[in-house]
Amino acid sequence: MNDEFFGAVLIFLGLLLAAAGLLWLVARGIAVLLRLRAARQLRQPLLLLTAGLVLGAAPFAYQRLYLAVVGLGERERVIDGERTLTLTGWDRTGYEILRSKPDVAILEMGNKDVTDETLALLGDLPKLKELTLNDSSISDAGLATLARLPRLESLRIARTPITPEGVRAFLAAPPPRLRQIDVSGNGIPTSILRQWKNAAAKPEDPDSPSAPVEERRYVN
């Protein structure tokens, strides 16, 4: 039994106990009001409700305590002054950990539970320059979020639900520093990628931060 399954069981049991305690509390409270019984009659349902809430909250408390004491271990490294975070295979609930790592420069989170909503957390990572989202569940809507990352240089979105139309729109107005993109396994026409690569051959603004054409690369 892995931690994720065990945590889900605890949450379910906690909610079940809390619901039972709440119903019991309401029923006993009505009985007390109707029959004018002593307030101690409410003690048992209150205890059951409290036990359910504590049990249900235990997995969340455990995750926070684990990260605070143990940290991310091998998932987190600082190389040449840049923080690298590897969340591919992440076995915890959610990705709120990103809020406490605003200086991440290289991020990998190629997981099915990474969605367009998850990408909203990337807006708090102003130094992010390399991002891997292979095998995630992001769509064309998520690409619009990624286009707003000012320092993004390398993007891997292989084997995702993105479409040629979404990639075309993304590359028509990409992050200004983007120079590498991997869209393999998505059925994206090479012509779309080639157009983006060749677009920097004669930049309209010579001071543009866009990468020169010889530095732009794609994998399809």
Give the mean pLDDT of 65-79: 65
User: What predicted TM-score, i.e. pTM, was given to this entire model?
Assistant: 0.64
β partners of residue 182: 156, 219
Q: Classify domain 73-219 at the CATH class level.
A: alpha beta
Q: What does each C-alpha distance from 96 to 64, 66, 152, 158, 184 come to in angstroms? A: 11, 14, 20, 24, 28
53 vs 96: which has the higher pLDDT: 96
Tens-digit pLDDT profile for residues 127-145? 999 999 999 999 999 999 9
Can you give the pLDDT at residue 158?
97
Give the mean pLDDT of 104-126: 95
Structural domain spans, the chain: 3-69, 73-219
Say how far apart CA 173 and CA 61 lie, in whole Å: 42
Is pLDDT at 19 greater than 60 in this prediction?
A: yes
Residue 82 CB burial class (10 angstroms; 0-12, 13-18, ≥19): middle
Determine which of 34-38, 85-89, 137-141 has the lowest per-residue pLDDT on average: 34-38
Which residue blocks in the chain are alpha helix, DSSP H? 3-35, 43-69, 140-146, 164-172, 190-198
Give the mean pLDDT of 42-67: 64
Say how far apart CA 89 and CA 111 lie, in whole Å: 6
Is pLDDT at 69 greater than 90 in this prediction?
A: no
Can you give the pLDDT at residue 42?
61
Tens-digit pLDDT profile for residues 172-191? 999 999 999 999 999 999 99
